[in-house]
Amino acid sequence: MHELTVATGIIELAEATLRQNGMHKIHAINIVIGELTCVDESALRFALDPASKGSPLEGADINIIWVKALARCEHCSTEFQPKGFIMECPQCKGLETNINKGRELYVKSIEAE
């Protein structure tokens, strides 16, 4: 379950951010996750709950912002949303595509005091 590793990284980042800014308590954290990261939201929330016990993140609102996948065909330049992990261009049926969105995984902002 890589969600536990992601949760631990989020907590470590949040704690470091608080220390750097002289703050003590997090009220909300906004996390951006791309649909191609294979992060399961319920598993991440489940992992964050016990991992945040005793930390400044305990009891904070966890807001997750999902980013849909977006690919671009190298042959015809069509941008499209892939279906699952199939990256076939719907226009020309080409398979040489670049993923432009959907791999994001970062903390966008933290609301703290």
Chain segment 36-90, per-residue pLDDT in tens: 999 999 999 999 999 999 999 999 999 999 999 999 999 999 999 998 778 899 9
DSSP code string of the chain: -HHHHHHHHHHHHHHHHHHHHT---EEEEEEEEEGGG---HHHHHHHHHHHTTTSTTTT-EEEEEEE--EEEETTT--EE--BTTB---TTT----EEEEES--EEEEEEEE-
The predicted model scores a pTM of 0.87
For domain 2-112, give its CATH number from 3.30.2320.80, 3.30.420.10, 2.40.30.10, 3.40.50.1100.
3.30.2320.80
Share of the chain above pLDDT 70, in %: 99
